[in-house]
Amino acid sequence: MPVWSMPGSELLRRALLRAGIADAAPWTGTAAQAPLLLLRADHVYDASLVTGLARRPGTLLCRPEDGLPVAAYLADHLTDTALAAAVAAALLAGRPAGDPAFAGLLPARPADLVDLYNKALRKRANPYLLHLDAGTRRAVEWEMFGGSYKGVTDAITKHVWPRPAFQVVRGCAALGITPNQVTFASLVLVFVALWLFATGAWLPGLLAAWVMTFLDTVDGKLARVTLTSTPLGNVFDHAIDLIHPPFWWLAWIYGLSQVGMPLAHPVAVGVIVFGGYVLQRLQEGLFLALYKMEIHVWRRFDSFFRLWIARRNPNLLILSFFTLFGRPDWGMLAVAAWTVFGCLEQVVVTIQAGLARRRGPLRSWLER
């Protein structure tokens, strides 16, 4: 059964490859002379779950909803051909965990094998383990898509983009469009928006910028659900995200002078929006170095504030609002003011974290 326009077995092969298992193959009835990992191919496994199972020989993986075994990692002493064949047959037949064929295997649910707090995606969530057939395919893809989403991010990415991005990711997967191709398209739009802002073409520039931010959501989700992310692609994507926003704001300030709406103190505003962006990033790096966690995942309030902090998407929202009312200059002044507030807020949070650490180790609210 296809998922994301590929056979479910191919998705499983990619998950196994990420777990360090390069010699995956369909079961032929012959046991290997080493630990043997058996998985039902009619299920979709969270990649982290496959990795967790691959570290636990002697484990029987069971579905969380009904306890039905769907995978087993046989230790050396269980890779006898007859024993392995019995386990494989019991898995395919859907027998319960108490079946004699599973003797010697320790039943485990997904939450037993994986840390529920995902630092990379800044969220706490159960790893998915989903039955895949014609009736569940759409639900499986939606569940996988949700699992690929960051838990702490801005309001637009979190609440506006998911539904349309899901459809575009499905389309990209069907057409064979790669995440890096999507990222390259977003890079082109970075320069298009930059040029349009610099010429005072506010609405076309905002359109290009918003499409770019949308594609920035699509590329990462496409990479995660199809298990095609690479270190190079990750650097490519994050480098674009990190570098371009303050140059957009400088181009906006220049564009105001081009259309006869110059700011009273353009250099000062430029220093605030550019320097403030850099300062925020440095503050986040300092917090991470001092407390070994990202500043926006310490407390629930910090995660809420990340929805609106003066980063690219919230700033674009501010600029869009004022531009629709014919005052793009006020929009930039509002962005500058919000940037100053964001920097001060992060200074306060960093000091509060230092005081809190005196009373004991800091932990993210998502880990509790």
pLDDT tens, the chain, 368 aa long: 789 999 888 888 888 888 887 666 666 666 555 678 899 989 999 989 999 998 898 999 999 999 999 999 987 655 577 788 889 899 999 999 999 999 989 999 999 999 888 887 888 888 999 999 888 999 999 999 998 888 899 999 999 999 999 999 999 999 999 999 999 999 999 999 999 999 999 999 999 999 999 999 999 999 999 999 888 888 888 899 999 999 999 999 999 999 999 999 999 999 999 999 999 999 999 999 999 999 999 999 999 999 999 999 999 999 999 999 999 999 999 999 999 999 999 999 999 999 999 999 999 999 87
Distance CA 88, CA 158 (A): 41
Pairing of strands 59-62, 106-108: parallel
- Distances from the Cα of 46 to the Cαs of 43, 239, 259, in angstroms? 10, 27, 52
Instruction: Look up residue 171 and give its two tokens.
Output: 């389309």
* 83 Cβ contact list (under 8 Å, min separation 6): 31, 74
Contact status, residue 178 vs residue 40, Cβ threshold 8 Å: no
Q: What is the pLDDT of residue 134?
A: 87
3-class SS shares of the chain: helix, strand, coil, % to 5: 60, 10, 30
**Other residues' Cβ atoms within 10 Å of the Cβ of residue 248:** 22
Predicted pLDDT at 189: 98
Distance (Å) of CA 141 to CA 71, 116, 174: 21, 20, 13
Taking each continuous run of H as one helix and of E as one strand, the counts in the chain are: 15, 10
Q: Name the pairing type of β-strands 69-74 and 59-62.
A: antiparallel
Is residue 10 within a helix (H) or strand (E), and if so which, with residue range? helix 8-18
Q: What is the reported pLDDT for 32?
A: 55
pLDDT at 25: 66
The whole-number pLDDT of residue 79 equals 59
pTM: 0.92
SS3 label, residue 243: helix
102 Rama sector, left if φ>0, alpha if ψ -120 to 50, beta otherwise:
alpha
Distance CA 59, CA 209 (A): 49
Q: What is the pLDDT of residue 29?
A: 65
Residues 6+ apart with CB under 8 A from 318: 331, 334, 335, 338
Look at residue 75 in the predicted model and tell me its pLDDT: 79
